[in-house]
């Protein structure tokens, strides 16, 4: 392999055990010079990895790494989800959602999937950013076509959140709940968020890119800059990111097949079991309207009892009144 073609992923794989490796050992393993290893290690500083260098011992990534691995992900997929052959696994990208909305990457396959170890411009809902450090969490986007007009979209983002909540509960995060429309919360803290982005129009059908950001192993110190209460899966259960990705894909494919066929109504009962707002005093962020959350209707709209009327809210942010989280 030419030095310039050195694969950063292969180097990271060797360092993922968290042990010291000398420059010459790494060079021999990867078939490149020590200088190329040194250059590649410098590149890895872009990922903000804590690389420890000790003379006579070599280099190690402090704490090791649990890297995403397409083979392990595929091995965890059932036959039904084995049809997910278009899975792109990147070390770094601006945003996995943005990557899949690029016209040149629109796949002919039923689903296109993009995963990254880190995002440099991870997108959250309502123009916010999504904190996306290297190798800690899951940043997953899935792209697919959805025929039909505006009505075909109702409840779509809710079923994506539901798929994530199902996986979390099955993996031991027993209190995982959905906060309308599609945040995943546990014990009043945010564990995951969903961002659905659309291209197309009511007459031609939609190209959907749905992204899930799930905190898996990020410590409170690592995520200190996040401006809301949040949690990681590792605080509740132990599960490898690869297995978690496979289970997310599996559930996404399953719920989307039913959603395409039967719409949101097929999930209404199940969604209500994950609803963390029901019965709580809430405030609608856009309007400041207050009321009691009364679940959702057949289209996925949040029902809010204001004391005067029962409002159906289709979009927006909701906050729970402070003494109620």
Q: Is 123 in the site for ligand BTN (CB under 6 A)?
A: yes
The answer to whether the Cα torsion of 127, 128, 133, 139 is positive or negative is: negative
Q: Is 139 in the site for ligand BTN (CB under 6 A)?
A: yes
Among 27, 58, 122, 133, contact with ligand BTN (rule: CB under 6 A):
122
Binding to ligand BTN by CB under 6 A, coded x per residue (else -) over 212-241, reads xx----------------------------
CB of 183 closer than 8 Å to CB of 192 = yes
Among 47, 130, 264, 271, contact with ligand BTN (rule: CB under 6 A):
130
Q: Is 117 in the site for ligand BTN (CB under 6 A)?
A: no
Among 193, 263, 291, 300, contact with ligand BTN (rule: CB under 6 A):
193
- Number of Cβ within 10 Å of residue 218's Cβ equals 22
Task: State which residue, 111 or 130, has the beta carbon closest to ligand BTN.
Answer: 130
The packing angle between helices 23-30 and 34-44, to 10°, is 100
Determine which one of 169, 190, 243, 278 is catalytic. 190
Which residue's Cβ lies closest to ligand BTN?
193
Q: Is 101 in the site for ligand BTN (CB under 6 A)?
A: no
**What's the Cα-to-Cα distance from 185 to each of 4, 34, 72, 114, 215, rounded to whole Å?**
44, 46, 27, 24, 11
Among 40, 97, 259, 284, contact with ligand BTN (rule: CB under 6 A):
97
**What's the Cα-to-Cα distance from 111 to each of 83, 95, 96, 142, 198, rounded to whole Å?**
9, 18, 14, 7, 15
User: Any catalytic annotation for residue 278?
Assistant: no
User: Any catalytic annotation for residue 189?
Assistant: no
Show the CA angle centred on residue 192, arms to residues 120 and 156, nearest 5°: 100
DSSP-assigned states of every residue in 51-120:
EEEETTTEEEETT------HHHHHHHS-TGGGG---EEEEEEES-HHHHHHSGGG--SSS-EEEEEEEES
Q: Is 157 in the site for ligand BTN (CB under 6 A)?
A: no
Task: State which residue, 140 or 313, has the beta carbon closest to ligand BTN.
Answer: 140
The answer to whether the Cα torsion of 32, 33, 39, 45 is positive or negative is: positive
Among 23, 110, 124, 205, contact with ligand BTN (rule: CB under 6 A):
124
**What's the Cα-to-Cα distance from 227 to each of 115, 188, 220, 318, rounded to whole Å?**
24, 14, 12, 16
Q: What six digits make up the tokens of 270?
A: 């199940």
Cα 234 to Cα 227: distance, rounded to the nearest angstrom: 20
Among 101, 141, 171, 232, contact with ligand BTN (rule: CB under 6 A):
141
Task: State which residue, 37 or 173, has the beta carbon closest to ligand BTN.
Answer: 173
Binding to ligand BTN by CB under 6 A, coded x per residue (else -) over 27-66, reads ----------------------------------------
Q: Is 105 in the site for ligand BTN (CB under 6 A)?
A: no
Task: State which residue, 21 or 136, has the beta carbon closest to ligand BTN.
Answer: 136
Catalytic residues: 125, 190, 321
Residues that bind ligand BTN (CB under 6 A): 95-97, 119, 122-125, 128, 130, 139-141, 183, 193-195, 211-213
């Amino acid at each position: 392999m030419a030095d310039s073609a050195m694969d950063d992923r292969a180097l990271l794989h060797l360092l993922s055990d968290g042990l010291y490796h000398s420059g010459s050992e790494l060079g021999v393993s990867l078939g490149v010079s020590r200088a190329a290893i040194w250059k590649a290690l410098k590149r890895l500083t872009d990922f903000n990895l804590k690389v420890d260098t000790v003379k006579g011992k070599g280099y190690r990534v402090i704490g090791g790494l649990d890297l995403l691995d397409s083979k392990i992900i595929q091995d965890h997929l059932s036959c039904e989800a084995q049809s997910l052959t278009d899975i792109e696994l990147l070390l770094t990208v601006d945003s996995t959602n943005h990557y899949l909305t690029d016209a040149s990457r629109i796949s002919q396959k039923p689903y296109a999937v993009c995963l990254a170890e880190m995002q440099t411009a991870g997108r959250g809902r309502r123009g916010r950013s999504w904190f996306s450090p290297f190798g800690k969490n899951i940043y997953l986007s899935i792209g697919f076509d959805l025929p039909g007009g505006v009505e075909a979209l109702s409840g779509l983002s809710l079923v994506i959140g539901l798929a994530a909540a199902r996986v979390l509960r099955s993996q031991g995060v027993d209190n995982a709940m959905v906060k309308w429309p599609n945040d995943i919360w546990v014990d009043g803290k945010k564990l995951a968020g969903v961002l659905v982005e659309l291209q197309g129009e009511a007459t031609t059908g939609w190209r959907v890119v749905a992204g899930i950001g799930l905190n898996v192993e990020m410590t409170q110190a690592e995520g200190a800059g996040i401006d809301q209460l949040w949690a990681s899966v590792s605080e509740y259960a132990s599960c490898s990111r690869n297995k978690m990705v496979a289970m997310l894909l599996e559930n996404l494919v399953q719920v989307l097949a039913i959603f395409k066929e039967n719409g949101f109504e097929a999930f209404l009962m199940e969604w209500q079991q994950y609803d963390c707002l029901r019965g709580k005093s809430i405030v609608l962020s856009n309007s400041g309207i207050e009321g009691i959350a009364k679940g959702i209707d057949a289209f996925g709209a949040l029902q809010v009892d204001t004391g005067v009327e029962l409002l159906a809210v289709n979009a927006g942010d909701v906050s729970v009144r402070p003494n109620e989280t």
